[in-house]
Amino acid sequence: MDSYMALWMFAAVFVVLLSGYPVAFVLSGTALIFAGLGLLLDNFDADFLAAMPNRLFGIMNNETLIAVPLFVFMGIVLERAKIAEALLEAMAELFGSLHGGLGIAVTIVGMLMAASTGIVGATVVTMGLLSLPTMLKRGYDPAISCGIICASGTLGQIIPPSIVLVLLGDVISTAYQQAQLEMGIFAPETVSVGDLFAGALIPGLLLVLLYLVYIFITAWLKPELLPKPEKPAQQEKGFYIRILKSLLPPLLLILSVLGSIIGGLATPTEAAAVGAVGALFLAYLNGVLNKAILEDVTRNTTQITSMVFMILIGAALFSLVFRGFEGDELIIELLSDLPGGKFGALFIVMVVMFFLGFVLDFIEITFVIVPIVGPVLLMMGVDPVWLGIMIALNLQTSFLTPPFGFALFYLRGVAPEEVTTGQIYKGVFPFILIQLLLLAILAYFPLLATWLPSFIYG
């Protein structure tokens, strides 16, 4: 049966990815090899490959995806502008006299940086360099300290403006239109990145709240793990003015970017352009903007953007060959036969994505898995915004789950030598459970994701 070739192709990709070979070339190379094999066995139609130029042209003309390099540029500029340093110093001074005060400060700064940059690597590395040595010096438990830094650094996955939500928004929109066409609806409704941004706000803030509750409870039950300083720092004259000066720039940037998208004043791409210019302005005000910094930022932005789009092209070729082997029909058949209807199918997909997150990056899951299972779930009547936020929250755990969680690698690279990898793994475990708890809450109360978009956009 042709569809079993699709499963063999998927298994081959999974095995080759474990070798460490670049993802984009694994996807495209495996697809071409299996397409050639299918042509030799006369069970693959070459017309599917002929559709590839149209796919590439569609990617090149997709205005939503222009937001990716702009948001990446904004995030890297803000990292260079030392915004996180000023924020962390102010928040640490504000909460430093409490048990777990530094942990609270790191979580709040992580939330603000997530809403400003949306780049996990930059946030985790910055927090690791700035706060981990101070937390250890004050007697904080190394495992809990590492867990707080990794978890707060990954908030950029779910709190908008998030690159994950931009990419997911594009993929979910395509899947939603495909699902409606399959159902005979030839004037399909659309779902936008703005819908996902609005839908992610309440779950994202709820996740921050759950993190803070965990820190409070841990500090209350085991104060020796999160001690307060013996001599609380004296708040100097003009302290609250310094707090305001630290908070105001990122808050204004967040309001200008997020507010313009959610308020319907700008598309995500236009808002990303505003954010990029705003980040440059903040860097100029902080005195860190020069020719060398701009060259470095531009180079890094180009590298990250090229990686994302190469994976997108490889995934487009993979999905065409997958459909050529009737893999989409097999997925429909498998998910439709599961007990529990759409909820049973959604549960299985979430479990599979969670475990794939142990070994695959969020970009790979977004571009390879979501286009395959998304249309099937949407045809079953799953709300597209709810599905998008569920997937985004699930993908966030991929940054924390050993052995390949990217946040763990980022922190390992900048952590002091006395901090072991085992302590980092141990520290993130409670936060993985918190994310899974929120995923369960969101599954039971879809309104947490769907109410705000419907309220704003009607």
pLDDT in tens, 379-438: 888 899 999 999 999 988 877 887 667 788 778 877 888 888 888 889 999 999 999 999
Arithmetic mean of pLDDT, 188-208: 89
Interior/surface letters 279-291, b for 16+ CB within 10 angstroms, e for the rest: bbbbbeebeebee
Arithmetic mean of pLDDT, 152-161: 85
| pLDDT value of residue 432 | 92
| pLDDT value of residue 450 | 92
When mean pLDDT is compared across 8-12, 97-101, 383-387, the lowest value belongs to: 97-101
Extract the tokens encoding 240.
């609250």
When mean pLDDT is compared across 116-130, 149-163, 320-334, the lowest value belongs to: 116-130
Domain that holds residue 324: 2-457
Q: What is the tens place of the pLDDT at every residue in 235-280?
A: 566 667 777 877 888 888 888 888 888 777 888 888 889 888 988 9
Q: What is the tens place of the pLDDT at every residue in 61-87?
A: 877 788 888 888 887 887 777 777 777
- Of 50, 53, 9, the C-alpha closest to 325 is 9
| pLDDT value of residue 448 | 94
Contact (Cβ atoms closer than 8 angstroms) between residue 148 and residue 428: no
Q: What is the DSSP string of 28-76?
A: HHHHHHHHHHHHHTT-S-THHHHTHHHHHHHHHT-SGGGHHHHHHHHHH
Rounded-to-integer distance, Cα 145 and Cα 226, Å: 9
When mean pLDDT is compared across 31-45, 137-151, 229-243, the lowest value belongs to: 229-243
Extract the tokens encoding 349.
């997909």
C-alpha 239, offset from chain centre: 34
Extract the tokens encoding 14.
């999974």
Percent of the chain with pLDDT over 70: 94
Rounded-to-integer distance, Cα 203 and Cα 236, Å: 36
Number of domains, the chain = 1
Q: In this model, does residue 163 exceed pLDDT 90?
A: no
Task: Give the chain's mean pLDDT.
Answer: 83
Rounded to the nearest 10 degrees, the angle between the axes of helix 370-379 and helix 327-336 is 50
| pLDDT value of residue 234 | 52
Rounded-to-integer distance, Cα 458 and Cα 455, Å: 5
